[in-house]
Chains A and B, each alone.
Chain A
């Protein structure tokens, strides 16, 4: 069966520090991968999605970036965090034309 992992589960970082969040998927190949962010009490905002290695599409311009160095690995990065980057970051995957997206457990980021 397929599983999706995210780490760390929680993270507290100072303003201006770098960020690297990792997401990996097991049990499937060539998945579509997504990064979402959820601010406190709000809906999910799609940040990036990828349909293959090295193929990244950005939905919202910001100081975040994403990379997909391997088929089942998706990384969210920032060179300098802002207070507004605080939130719940969720990675998800889907397959081909599947209607379903499967979400990871998320990383709760607090920028202080």
Chain B
């Protein structure tokens, strides 16, 4: 699976948009970009995924560059409950179970 690079930490003011970057310059054509987050002492939670088009759901938006070498997760109106470690993962879609490799992620702190 391709490697991802994320900043170790970011801060965001409550109510503002949080933009979390991820570099995945070695991504291959069949690999998807997944985002999960982990609130302290809990299991990770799936947020969103995409292949090459931008995606949006009730939690976030995912913007993938045209060359697919980087992406940005956007939380449009961050709240204190969005404080968590955010993981960007690149992996092909598995035919029998998805084996995801979690890196160090980005610690997002939303400040009041």
* Chain A 77-112 near chain B by CB (<8 Å), digits 1 or 0: 000000000001010101001111111111010000
Q: Are A43 and B43 in contact (CB under 8 A)?
A: no
A15 at the interface (CB under 8 A from B): no
Shortest distance between the CB of A98 and any CB in chain B (Å): 7
Is B93 in contact with A97, judged by CB distance below 8 angstroms?
yes
Instruction: Tell me which residues from 24 to 77 in chain B have a Cβ below 8 Å from any Cβ of chain A.
Output: 32, 34, 36, 41-46, 49
Q: Are B43 and A104 in contact (CB under 8 A)?
A: yes
Which of chain B's residues has its CB closest to A88's CB?
B41
Determine the distance from Cα of A8 to Cα of B19 in the docked complex, in whole angstroms.
36
CA of A104 to CA of B43, assembled, Å? 6
- Which of A94, A97, A98, A106 is the one whose CB lies under 8 Å from B43? A106
A24 contacts the other chain (CB 8 A): no
Indicate if the CB atoms of A92 and B97 lie closer than 8 Å.
Answer: no
Chain A interface SS verdict (over half)? strand
CB <8 Å contact, B96 and A32:
yes
- Closest Cβ neighbor of A42 among chain B residues: B104
B residues in contact with A36, CB < 8 Å: 102
B103 contacts A by Cβ under 8 Å: yes
A47-77 interface with B by 8 A CB criterion: 49, 51, 59
A43-B87, A43-B104, A43-B105 given as contacts; is B98 within 8 A of A99 (CB)? Answer: yes
Report the minimal beta-carbon distance from B4 to chain A, rounded to whole angstroms.
11
- Residue B81 is within 8 A (CB to CB) of chain A in the complex: no
Q: CA separation between A37 and B48, bound complex, in Å?
A: 22
User: Are B100 and A46 in contact, with the CB atoms below 8 A?
Assistant: yes
Q: How far is the CA of A59 from the CA of B99 in the complex (A)?
A: 10
Beta-carbon contact of B43 and A92 below 8 Å: yes
Residue of A nearest to B49 (CB): A99
Given A90-B43, A104-B43, A105-B42, does the pair A99, B102 have CB atoms closer than 8 Å? no
Is A44 close to B, CB under 8 A? yes
Query: Which 4 residue pairs are nearest across A and B when measured between Cβ atoms?
Result: A103-B43, A32-B97, A44-B102, A100-B46
